[in-house]
Copies of this chain bind each other. A is one copy, B any other.
């Protein structure tokens, strides 16, 4: 215990040394990304809770993209990066208000298929119109120059990120090959 508290105090002392530029960028950048990621507006769509907004939007997006009616629940789960039971719960709630239909896949009875009802399509369009109007207001206040510059910088950051990830992963592979006796099971590495 004493040892852990001591460590905690070392951390504290550590935090007092001046931040360097990369640390400041990291803190500020992560903070801004986090604030932008979950806009409160998504909690204010009439008649839908926050989770339902995401799922209804995902079904609507997939249905439109593929020009087909029914979407596999397993695909939705994968797309939402969300555990299956949580997705199921939201689907059940959307179904209880007749926004979606759930059916067993006649071609593979292990799959459940979902589709938007007419009421669901109307609700998705209402939600989309509401979010688009809101986003348009924000982008227009930002102005063309700043929006173009913001997108250019994010794109540049993403390219660098992807390149560095590539380098990192091939270096990791090499490290693994050079030092395979570190006592970690292979399954644990990935």
- Chain multiplicity (copies): 2
A47: chain B residues within 8 A (beta carbon): 184, 188-189
A13: chain B residues within 8 A (beta carbon): none
Q: Once the chains bind, are B151 and A29 in contact (CB under 8 Å)? A: yes
A154: chain B residues within 8 A (beta carbon): 29, 32-33, 36, 150
Interface string of A171-187 (1 = CB under 8 A from B): 01000000000001000
How many A residues face the partner with a CB closer than 8 A?
Answer: 71
Majority SS of interface residues in chain A?
Answer: helix
A158 to B171 alpha-carbon distance, docked (Å) = 37
A39: chain B residues within 8 A (beta carbon): 161, 165
A160 to B46 alpha-carbon distance, docked (Å) = 23
A67 to B13 alpha-carbon distance, docked (Å) = 12
**Interface set, chain A 16-51, CB cutoff 8 A to B:** 21-22, 25-26, 28-29, 32-33, 35-41, 43-44, 46-47
Show 22 A/B contacts (Cβ-Cβ < 8 Å), sorted by A.
Answer: A4-B118, A7-B121, A21-B139, A22-B140, A26-B136, A28-B151, A32-B151, A32-B155, A36-B157, A36-B161, A38-B81, A40-B165, A44-B190, A46-B184, A47-B188, A82-B83, A83-B85, A134-B168, A138-B160, A141-B164, A146-B153, A146-B156
